[in-house]
Structure 1
Amino acid sequence: MPKQKPIPPEDLIIPPQDNRICGTICMCQMTAVLSSVALVYLTVAVYMPTLRAFQSGISEVPAMCTTTRHFKNDNCEWGTCGEWCLSKSSGACEQIYVNLRRNGSELTFENCTNSANKTCYGIDQENAKSSRCIADECKNLTGTFNCTLGQCINITDAFECVFMNTELPLKCSGRRGKITCIDLDGLQSCVRGTCEKIRIPYNCDRRCVDIPTRNKNVILLSGDKVFLSQCQRALATADDDDKKEIWTEDQENILIASCYIIENTTQGVIASDCINGSLLSKDSLTDLANFTYLNYLSVVNTDLLDPNRIIAPPEIDLLIKNESKLHINMEGCVNTLKDECRDFFREYGKDGSDHNARARFPCFYAESEPEKVVAHFDLEGTYRHFLIASILPSVLFVASCFILVFCQKTVEVGDDAKMRFKGCSGVDLIIAPGEKSVSANNLGDGGGGDSVMAL
């Protein structure tokens, strides 16, 4: 096929246009459309939630929550956390219930020596090896297992369970074993694939029996961790930040309490949100103690640290609401699409059903609605996000619209189909009638242009 001869620009039906003007108009049109769409989306995602946050009456001073129940519901009226707010609807979801209470005391322990930290690990539900009965993996189970709808986790190495009664055995081995045990649920005692469900009451002690309590007069519990030390005295921080002495080693007893955070600083050991403060006689503990027994002593001991029940009081004295509904935020959903809800349930969904420590964390609530609490609440951050989400798309929308209107008023298309700003196009020079007229566009050719037309 013969090569076509290039057509000169002046002979084109539509000559080349000014790329800068055309590109500016296209860019402003795209910016105006995207910013208007962003304003509509942000109305639901940012503006309305911000308004509800400021009208909610939720205090920015956190209280404390302890997870009591975590389960999946097939038909939900509310959910603790959803991954996408715009698609949030009724249906299956996960729900967390918590006990809401006021904050405990802040205690400082001075001149502590011979300190020890002990972590009593339970079962990591996320990483623990599980056996699925439907896959015929339960036919050789031996030991104590925590089962959920036919999926069993071995807890023999972490817990020692004492029980009296069991239900009728189910044989998970054999030809129909996987069908027989497909709904295996609860705590099971298994021997070579034959499992018996353990009936309530039972007691499962964590196999953490080597906690060194010898020559220790302070024992602080924090979740699955235990801090022990020999301290000289304990101070309580009052509302005016003054510290009051509440205990000394001269009392010849042992101080035990449950605290949220324990930090070893230059000022001493500082423990925040301490509750269930009790005093134990020195002969109540031997050289080694059991983790479960220490938790039991911190709850049932009647010899309180403060007889007035003000400093490290019993948890029941601080209780605001039982079984409050926990939400990750005001909306109960997130738009990050980073599996934030999965991480949230892993951290806050520990309800003790796996015999590990329950989740304990700061939370926020409104005094007029204590049955609803939120885990994440930050009015200052919410206001900052509102400003960014409102100013940025609004400025882009107004600026792009202004430039488009400016182009509409100032840009024209000439007879040669080129875009020009008004006032920048060539102006014909008018000579006498009957003479030749030279276009101003051709004057730059040194007067040699032949663009002549008769008037």
Structure 2
Amino acid sequence: MGKKRKCKPPVIPQQDKRICGSICFCQMVVVFSSVSLIYLTVAVYIPSYKAFHSGYETTPAMCQTINTSLINNCSWASCSEWCLTKASGFCPQIHVTTRQNGTDLELRNCTRFTTIACPQVTTDKLKRYNCNNGTECATLSGVFNCSLGHCRNFSEIYQCHHRADGAVLDSDKDNTKLTGFFECKGSRCVKIKRHFSCDRYCPAINTNFSNVYITQDDSVHTVVCSTAWAFTESKGIEPRVEIDEKMIWEAKYGEVLMISCHHLKHNSSSIRGFDCVNGTIYNTTEIPRPSMNFTQFWRVRNKWRHLLDPTHRYVPPQATLTIFNHSRLFINLDGCVNTLRGECREFLQTNGRDGRNQTAQSRFPCFYNKNSSERVVARYNLNTTWRQFVIAATVPSVLFVVSFLTLCIIMQSVSVGDDTKMRCKYCLGNSDDPDSLTTPTDSGGGAANGAGVPSRRGDLTASHTYETDINLILHALNEQ
């Protein structure tokens, strides 16, 4: 019995890497640019269209937070982490008042500049006592906020004014009933039923010789100055205008000036204040000497003698600049971001302070629509929006068009021969093209290798077929 004949695998010619690489690269660019155009429609094109037709003022106003709440499954949120899904879970809702910017001014010939800060405290950082764990709560002392036996000591950061007149519980025996505010001494805890207030423990404010008090967030700056000069003039609810410097205050014996500014720059002998409001004059007799705490300071602020400028043009009361008393705050026109980098939690921390427990309210630039008080936005820049729109529309579109046209050109200029090899029809000097091959000849025009070698290009294919047949016969004989 003869040996089984093996089938010779088909001969697959090696393709031109330049042609294959060009086709693969252009196909990849077409696919990626198409996907980019689809994604950018939601991420850039539609938001840009909304921004161009929103009607918001391009000059920012100033917003101040009046209420912040965190609820679940809300109908709207000031900021959501993903624009393709409805707000759920983490759902901050921030309400603000909107007003025009205050006065930019400069206090001159200033000395004895001091700063006293009373930053907002975070109750989540307080030590937690687990009253369900043996006798851990047997030595409690102070005002505690408890939830199912887990208590935090508010007395560490607050001085509370309360009256404990509720039920008496034993922290060791009735630990599961510890829910709410309690005044604890040892293991004996008395529930605080009525509403009460607490003051933060803050450093004392030095009041010796100071005739100017500037509040900025949770800080109070004290200084001795001789004059105040304004660089802008307020127009009520209309945007302010810039003016030549004008002196609006000069120090007098027995008077104290108090103002509130959004931002300060301190030089060697002057202080520059931006967006300053609520300029009021006080008698020095109303200021406790030689120091006062923040609670006293907040009480003194309600005892001003008269306004700095009764015409409300320089450092005016905030109420005269108010555009909207109540509006919803959104991080942008869509109320969401797509970066997934925790921007919403950062936005809540910086813009969500509503002044609880006598802390400073968040104050920040915002943008509004004159015809609607329903919402204001914190981010709105038409120049940036236009630049992003142009880049997002141009880059993927150009890549798509160029790659698509390149594929069309390759389709017209590349042919596939009978040997399944792709060749460029219009390329000069292509050594893979059978028609471009010639046989060397002698000077007389005869065959260089004898009469058996073809001398014409038209006979090359037949010669190649004949040699292939000979090789196949020899291979079959070897297998026999």
Which interval holds the TM-score relative to the shorter structure? 0.7 to 0.9
How is 1:300-315 mapped onto 2 (pairs within 5 angstroms)? Answer: 301-315=304-318
In structure 2, C-alpha distance between the alignment counterparts of 1:380 and 1:336, rounded to whole Å: 21
User: In structure 2, what is the equivalent of residue 59 of structure 1?
Assistant: 57
The 10-residue stretch of structure 1 (107-116 or 306-315) with the greater mean CA deviation from structure 2: 306-315
User: In structure 1, what is the equivalent of residue 178 of structure 2?
Assistant: 181
**Match among 103, 115, 118 for residue 117 of structure 1:** 115
User: In structure 1, what is the equivalent of residue 244 of structure 2?
Assistant: 242
- Alpha-carbon distance change, 190 to 175 in structure 1, aligned in 2, over 3 angstroms: closer
SS of equivalent to 1:308: coil
How is 1:36-51 mapped onto 2 (pairs within 5 angstroms)? Answer: 36-51=34-49
Cα pair 1:170 1:181 within 8 Å, conserved? no
How is 1:19-418 mapped onto 2 (pairs within 5 angstroms)? Answer: 19-89=17-87, 93-125=91-123, 127-130=125-128, 141-145=140-144, 153-163=152-162, 165-166=163-164, 168-169=166-167, 171=169, 173-178=171-176, 180-182=177-179, 184=180, 189-192=183-186, 194=189, 196-197=191-192, 199-200=194-195, 202-238=196-232, 239-265=241-267, 268-285=270-287, 286-299=289-302, 301-353=304-356, 355-418=358-421
Cα pair 2:116 2:220 within 8 Å, conserved? yes
In structure 2, C-alpha distance between the alignment counterparts of 1:326 and 1:139, rounded to whole Å: 46
In structure 2, C-alpha distance between the alignment counterparts of 1:91 and 1:236, rounded to whole Å: 47
Q: Partner amino acid for 1:156?
A: S
Cα pair 2:415 2:425 within 8 Å, conserved? yes
The 10-residue stretch of structure 1 (138-147 or 219-228) with the greater mean CA deviation from structure 2: 138-147
Cα pair 2:132 2:172 within 8 Å, conserved? no
Cα pair 2:30 2:404 within 8 Å, conserved? yes
For residue 126 of structure 1, report the CA deviation from its aligned partner: 5.9
Cα pair 2:113 2:224 within 8 Å, conserved? yes
Q: Partner amino acid for 1:426?
A: P
For residue 442 of structure 1, report the CA deviation from its aligned partner: 11
For residue 110 of structure 1, report the CA deviation from its aligned partner: 0.2
Cα pair 1:66 1:98 within 8 Å, conserved? yes
Q: Partner amino acid for 2:216?
A: S
In structure 2, C-alpha distance between the alignment counterparts of 1:66 and 1:38, rounded to whole Å: 39
- Alpha-carbon distance change, 226 to 92 in structure 1, aligned in 2, over 3 angstroms: closer
For residue 20 of structure 1, report the CA deviation from its aligned partner: 2.0
- Alpha-carbon distance change, 409 to 14 in structure 1, aligned in 2, over 3 angstroms: same
Q: Over aligned residue pairs, what C-alpha RMSD do you find?
A: 3.3
Quick one: percent identity of the two aligned structures?
38
2:464 pairs with 1:451: yes
In structure 2, C-alpha distance between the alignment counterparts of 1:146 and 1:54, rounded to whole Å: 49
Cα pair 2:83 2:338 within 8 Å, conserved? yes
The 10-residue stretch of structure 1 (231-240 or 328-337) with the greater mean CA deviation from structure 2: 231-240
Per-residue CA deviations over 1:397-448 (Å, capped at 9, x if unaligned) read 11111111111111111122211111442217899xxx975675999xxxxx
In structure 2, C-alpha distance between the alignment counterparts of 1:33 and 1:114, rounded to whole Å: 67
For residue 28 of structure 1, report the CA deviation from its aligned partner: 1.2
SS of equivalent to 2:390: helix
The 10-residue stretch of structure 1 (282-291 or 238-247) with the greater mean CA deviation from structure 2: 238-247
For residue 351 of structure 1, report the CA deviation from its aligned partner: 1.8
User: In structure 2, what is the equivalent of residue 446 of structure 1?
Assistant: none
SS of equivalent to 1:75: coil
The 10-residue stretch of structure 1 (306-315 or 369-378) with the greater mean CA deviation from structure 2: 306-315
Q: Partner amino acid for 2:308?
A: L
Task: With the length of structure 2 as denominator, give the TM-score of the two structures.
Answer: 0.81
- Alpha-carbon distance change, 50 to 299 in structure 1, aligned in 2, over 3 angstroms: farther
- Alpha-carbon distance change, 84 to 130 in structure 1, aligned in 2, over 3 angstroms: farther
In structure 1, C-alpha distance between the alignment counterparts of 2:149 and 2:64, rounded to whole Å: 28
- Alpha-carbon distance change, 25 to 412 in structure 1, aligned in 2, over 3 angstroms: same
For residue 321 of structure 1, report the CA deviation from its aligned partner: 2.0
User: In structure 2, what is the equivalent of residue 421 of structure 1?
Assistant: 424
In structure 2, C-alpha distance between the alignment counterparts of 1:175 and 1:277, rounded to whole Å: 56
The 10-residue stretch of structure 1 (217-226 or 145-154) with the greater mean CA deviation from structure 2: 145-154
Cα pair 1:63 1:362 within 8 Å, conserved? yes
In structure 2, C-alpha distance between the alignment counterparts of 1:13 and 1:140, rounded to whole Å: 90
- Alpha-carbon distance change, 410 to 229 in structure 1, aligned in 2, over 3 angstroms: same
The 10-residue stretch of structure 1 (231-240 or 119-128) with the greater mean CA deviation from structure 2: 119-128
SS of equivalent to 1:156: helix
Per-residue CA deviations over 1:270-324 (Å, capped at 9, x if unaligned) read 1111122111111212110122322333355352111223322222222222231
